[in-house]
Structure 1
Amino acid sequence: MLAIAVAVTMAVLDSSVANTALPSIARHLAITPAESVWIINAYQLAIVVLLLPVAALGERIGYRRVYLIGLALFTLGSLACALSGSLEALVVSRIAQGFGAAGIMAVNGALVRYTFPQASLGRGVGLNALVVSVAGAIGPTVASGILAIGPWQWLFAVNVPIGVANILFAARVLPWSTLSDKSLDWLSAALSALTFGLFFVGVDTLTHGGGRGALAAAELVLGVLAGVALFVRERHERRPLIPIDLLRIPIFGLSVATSICSFAAYTLAFLALPFWFQTVLHRDQVETGLLMTPWPAGVGLVAPFAGRLADRIPAAILGSAGLLVLAIGLALLSQLPPDASTPAIVWRMALCGLGFGFFQAPNNRTMLGSAPRDRAGAAGGMLATARLTGMTSGATIAALVFRLMPLDGEHLCLLVAVGLAIAGGLASLSRLRQADATRAG
């Protein structure tokens, strides 16, 4: 579990530390802020397009092997980032980093399932959720600390010795998995990459506006066509690249819907709250950063406990209760008066984090546990894909709301997030009925 946690921490941290360093990188490379955004987008896009193909590859050649290759590529990409002297070189290096991170994230859940026995799977998933939450929470702090003592290149260089040490360690302790006898369908892999790549690029183009609606529409239409072609090609396969077989399992499909709704609500809130704190509650940037911390801290506090509970209590109950608490916390935040005190903000943010934590670990456990053991890679890849789809959907909704309502967009974003949290809770609760139907059958 330590070998798994170290690599996941590195991959999650590099999603956030680069955000903090963007102004420094832009100044050093003499590029505009708009150009510097590609340093973030290149990494995220590389992860998205490879998640499901790499998860399928893990079933063919082994999750351990994919994980080690991904970790090695991530480490080499980090070294290349540290040595980059131009925007082009840095973007290419970030793509390599993203490909490596996809290898880590796509089979991370499958390795957790092979590490923990079924009776303790919730504990393993809870620990994994704790690692992700803590890594996401400390990202800006770690970046600020490194930038205080060294140049931005150190943000990437620090991954190299840690990555090398973890490769040697992981090669000794990671579990082996059963292998599929089916070869990887490369055409399906290419269609999957086009589907998700064109979709996310189209969404990004759409949210930036500037008269590029036709281009965004073309990218989205091509993405949909690639997805339809992939579905037609894969719908009768025994082990499809897009896990259609798993989505036919009602509990798995409802868990995916729960995850998408919940992470969309999470992203909406995290994009709106900084504006809410600064424009409505009149807090400065430092205070805003500190006020955002109770949410991930709450997730980290409750995730291991929720994971252990998920081994005994249905995730449908835990998830719906957690998302109801999240919805209440978001609604309370949206009603704060302009002169709200710091303690009043902190306990509401902590309430959101506690609710989100009670959803996350049990939901992940259900997604991994409801899939056959030999499809653990596909389940883990779908888990990560659902999370990224929800986050991208939330970001898209936020961008559209801010464009349509520039004066009060953050308030509407919080209210939409409340609705999405409730929708996720209803999807979660529906799993209880499906479980009862399965037992009755």
Structure 2
Amino acid sequence: MNELAQPAGSSSQTKSTDGLFGPARTWAMLAVSLSVLMALLDYAIANVALPDIARDLHASSSASIWVVNAYQLASLVSLLPLAALGSKVGFSRMCQFGIILFIGSSVLCAMATTLPALAAARVLQGIGGACILSVNIALVRYIYPHAEIGKGIALNGVVVAMGVALGPTAAAAILTVASWPWLFWVNLPLGAAALFMAFRALPTTPRSKSRPDITGSVLCMLAFGALVMGGDGLAHQSGTLLSCVLIAVGLLSGLLLIHRESGLPQPILPVDMLAKPDFAIAFMTGFCGFVASNFYIISMPFTLHDVLGMSPAATGLLITPWPIGIMSAAPLVRRLADTVSAGVLSSIGLLMTATGFFLLWMMPAHPTAFDIVWRTWLAGCGFGLFQPPNNRAMMVSASHARAGGASGMVQVARQAGQTCGAMGVAAFFSLFAQGAALKCLFMAACVATFAALLSSSRLLAGKRA
């Protein structure tokens, strides 16, 4: 039997929780990386094509934004239910199903002839992406032995950065030679490769024997969905009454979910994990870190284009040092994530990110390209240093039986933080007629500083993640 086809119970894996070794680990991580890359490429790949999509499908520009929102909302609201389901059916099976759903929905996106059909297909695509993202870090925990989990999470962080960075770039490249449906057709070869690797190389993981919680899943999706839509409405100052009603429905659904599942061994919303100081601090640190990052990511193009008068091409190039910085930190963080506490590494990383954001906010009125590049790279490098140890802290504070819930919460911290950051930017642009983009950079720096202080509280408590 070749190494690629070797099952989890073979000699490459001494126990189900001891990880894989040698080529088996390499192939399994390649499977995870390909699936995560595919899911994250499509997270933002449609943004660049929104004007073309609106024109071809005879839709307004504002309505076309649902091509992006449908994917993001579907992914966020389904993360925790799918993470819980992954614990029951197996993380590898959940990832495989997610790839299949993602490929099928990509075909539907490419063939859509109306905006509602495209938005519906993007909902399915978002669910497929959530199937993958909800269990990817749980799979890393079974691919790497406990002593080396940080290395696997650091590698996963590099793939995430690549996916986020390559989305707009890949879209621009495709649109120069083809029409917007090819943004989705290109998922087929990547998805086929990911699916082949997933079936051949992912390890078999233990499965919970508890029954699926349909009511809890509905309450969870309603809570997240209503809160996001209500918050988005308030941020855009549209339909204030309806937005408040949605937020009230979301809060009530969340309270009902917590009351219903309190005391359960594997609740969909793992409130019992959040009761643990190590997990709670890591979760809130991750959430605040991604709030800060989205304040930067969304507002910086406006700063470059509207404030500094940069061309669209120059704007894209000057944002690129952010993901390059994240990837630059990977070699260092892979060596340190398993030996240095998250309280140290994540705090230093977030302080670097906050410093980079403050320096961008305080740039001279007519900065050179180098002035922008090195500040952006510093912020990205700090963010790359912060993520893996913080994610590791969340994963190792949960038992193997709760790996699915912990993996889901890692993604919730990321996506909820990004969503709240986007809402914050929208609110700033609604409230401030002048200088909103620069104010967003200042806010990004402040939130990153708060996240660093929150992370460093682990040191004061004498905790080691």
* Structure 1 length-normalised TM: 0.97
Summarize deviations over 1:171-229 as a string: whole Å, max 9, x none.
1110111111211211111100000011111122222224x100100111100000010
1:248 counterpart residue number: 275
Q: Does 1:363 align with 2:363?
A: no
Summarize deviations over 1:50-93 as a string: whole Å, max 9, x none.
10000001111110111111110011000111111111211111
Amino acid at match of 2:369: T
**CA apart distance, 1:280:** 2.5
1:24 counterpart residue number: 52
Q: Secondary structure at the match of 2:394?
A: helix
How far apart, CA to CA, are the structure 2 residues paired with 1:69 and 1:280? Answer: 45
Amino acid at match of 1:182: S
1:110 counterpart residue number: 138
1:85 counterpart residue number: 113
2:232 counterpart residue number: 204
More helix by share: 1
Residue 432 of structure 2, aligned match among 398, 401, 405: 405
Contact 1:278 1:285 in 2 (8 A): yes
Contact 1:316 1:430 in 2 (8 A): yes
Distance 1:363 1:346, change over 3 A: same
Residue 318 of structure 1, aligned match among 337, 345, 360: 345
1:262 counterpart residue number: 289
Residue 120 of structure 1, aligned match among 142, 148, 152: 148
Summarize deviations over 1:273-300 as a string: whole Å, max 9, x none.
1121223322222111111010111001
Distance 1:285 1:437, change over 3 A: closer
How far apart, CA to CA, are the structure 2 residues paired with 1:6 and 1:34? Answer: 32
**CA apart distance, 1:308:** 2.6
How far apart, CA to CA, are the structure 1 residues paired with 2:331 and 2:199? Answer: 26
Contact 2:236 2:430 in 1 (8 A): no
2:25 counterpart residue number: none
**CA apart distance, 1:242:** 0.4
Q: How does 1:265-284 map to 2 (within 5 A)?
A: 265-284=292-311
Contact 1:123 1:304 in 2 (8 A): no
Q: Secondary structure at the match of 2:363?
A: coil
How far apart, CA to CA, are the structure 2 residues paired with 1:346 and 1:179? Answer: 47
How far apart, CA to CA, are the structure 2 residues paired with 1:264 and 1:239? Answer: 28
Q: Does 1:345 align with 2:365?
A: no
Tell me how large the CA RMSD over aligned residues is.
1.3
1:236 counterpart residue number: 263
Off by >6 Å, runs of 4+ in structure 1: none
Residue 73 of structure 1, aligned match among 76, 97, 101: 101
**CA apart distance, 1:162:** 2.3
Q: How does 1:183-222 map to 2 (within 5 A)?
A: 183-210=211-238, 212-222=239-249
Q: Does 1:35 align with 2:51?
A: no
Q: Secondary structure at the match of 1:149?
A: coil
How far apart, CA to CA, are the structure 1 residues paired with 2:422 and 2:237? Answer: 14
Summarize deviations over 1:235-281 as a string: whole Å, max 9, x none.
21121110112111211100001011110010001122112122332
Identity between Structure 1 and Structure 2 (%): 42
**CA apart distance, 1:159:** 0.8
How far apart, CA to CA, are the structure 2 residues paired with 1:368 and 1:116? Answer: 12
Contact 2:291 2:421 in 1 (8 A): yes
